[in-house]
């Protein structure tokens, strides 16, 4: 039954991930005094991509062909382990490490593919992506360890249960602020990256996928939407797990909090500018200091 519910969760998150991305795009448009794309525009974009053929250079290797499928598969694997509080997983041992490094595996192959294509902009985007994530991943693990220490384990379900049972504290607030900053960095949003830019010199994630087209770019965009939803679910269920008792079911509160985080991400993008690449270490060092303070304050 755990395998069945895990499969059901993967399908549900894969279907809903484009809707969450559409909510962010629409909210950002409203905040910028524009009408903005519709909530379901991402679904239409994916249908457009999957109806087109791939145009691939004859000089690329198998890495370029396989990277979109590996990226999408790792996003689905992370969705299977994401904390949704819908069921208890049978294999809970160290699933936190599996989730984090599964996302890292997809990012690694996408960066390899950007170099394999031989494009100068693709190589620039891949090198920038690795530069950012070398800084992000240690701070991300440190922030997640603030929850793992309270749970005395690194299982996702164990950590989610411990976060739910713990009350509001200074440690939890500091960890939540740190992970919110990491959510912006991990999902490639302003001020770390601009997912809507068309200027090649400022591209990071978009620079890596310039050589892709058709179904391949559709898989990459869909995988990015799933990865974004998984990161938001980590934020909601590990760092903002508190629900008012007796008002609404926990699942309803989880959906409300996901939408609130989506609106907050849109607000951060609207109210800030993209930072210069070499100023990002300062932001991530400050985030790491918040995580250390959260551990000390436990």
Per-residue pLDDT of the chain (298 residues; tens, 9 = 90+): 577 888 888 999 999 999 999 999 999 999 988 888 999 999 999 999 999 988 888 888 899 999 999 999 999 999 988 888 655 554 455 688 888 888 889 989 998 998 888 777 888 888 888 888 888 888 999 999 998 888 888 888 888 888 888 777 888 889 999 999 999 988 888 888 877 777 767 778 777 888 888 899 999 999 999 999 999 999 998 898 877 766 777 788 888 999 999 999 999 988 888 888 888 888 889 999 999 998 888 7
Q: Are 280 and 135 in contact (CB under 8 A)?
A: yes
The beta-strand segments (E) located in the chain are: none
Tokens of 214: 């058709």
Q: Cβ contacts of residue 246 below 8 Å, gap of 6+? A: none
Residue 18, H or E segment: helix 2-31
Domain ranges of the chain: 2-296
Sorted by sequence, the CB contacts under 8 Å of residue 254 that are 6+ apart come out as: 84, 85, 233, 236, 237
Q: In a 10 Å sphere around its CB, with 0-12 CB exposed, 13-18 middle and 19+ buried, how is residue 167 labelled?
A: exposed
> What is the rounded CA–CA span in Å between residue 192 and residue 244?
34
Lookup: tokens for 67: 């990277």
> For position 18, what pLDDT does the model report?
96
Structure confidence at residue 90 (pLDDT): 46
Question: Can you give the pLDDT at residue 246?
Answer: 65
Structure tokens at 234: 């980590």
- Give the model's pLDDT for residue 158: 83
- Model pTM above 0.95: no
Q: How far apart are CA 191 and CA 275, in angstroms?
A: 5
User: How far is residue 14's CA from residue 6's CA, in Å, rounded to a whole number?
Assistant: 12
Cα angle value 265/179/161 (rounded, 5°):
115
Whole-number pLDDT of residue 227: 94
Whole-angstrom Cα distance, residue 106 to residue 225? Answer: 13
Q: Which two tokens stand for residue 205?
A: 């994630």
3-state SS, residue 158? helix
Contact, 242 vs 249, CB < 8 A?
A: no
- Give the pLDDT score at 56: 86
SS3 at position 229: helix
């Amino acid at each position: 039954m755990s395998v069945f519910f895990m499969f059901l969760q993967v399908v549900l998150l894969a279907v809903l991930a484009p809707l969450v991305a559409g909510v962010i795009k629409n909210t950002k448009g409203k905040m910028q005094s524009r009408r903005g794309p519709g909530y379901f525009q991402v679904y239409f974009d994916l249908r457009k991509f999957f109806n087109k053929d791939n145009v691939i250079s004859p000089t690329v290797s198998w890495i370029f062909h396989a990277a979109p499928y590996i990226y999408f598969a790792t996003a689905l694997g992370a969705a299977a382990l994401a904390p949704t509080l819908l069921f208890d997983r049978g294999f809970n041992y160290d699933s936190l490490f599996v989730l984090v490094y599964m996302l890292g595996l997809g990012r690694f192959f996408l960066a390899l593919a950007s170099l394999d294509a031989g494009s100068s902009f693709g190589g620039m985007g891949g090198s920038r992506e690795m530069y950012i994530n070398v800084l992000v991943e240690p701070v991300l693990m440190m922030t997640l360890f603030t929850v793992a220490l309270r749970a005395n384990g690194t299982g996702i379900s164990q950590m989610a249960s411990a976060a739910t049972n713990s009350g509001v504290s200074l440690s939890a607030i500091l960890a939540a602020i740190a992970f919110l900053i990491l959510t912006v960095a991990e999902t490639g949003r302003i001020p770390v990256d601009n997912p809507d830019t068309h200027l090649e010199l400022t591209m990071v994630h978009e620079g890596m996928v310039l050589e892709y087209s058709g179904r391949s770019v559709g898989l990459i965009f869909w995988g990015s939407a799933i990865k974004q939803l998984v990161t938001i679910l980590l934020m909601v269920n590990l760092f903002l797990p508190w629900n008012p008792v007796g008002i609404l079911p926990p699942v309803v509160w989880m959906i409300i909090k996901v939408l609130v985080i989506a609106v907050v991400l849109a607000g951060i993008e609207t109210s800030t500018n993209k930072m210069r690449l070499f100023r990002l270490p300062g932001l991530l060092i400050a985030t790491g200091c918040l995580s250390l303070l959260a551990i000390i304050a436990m």
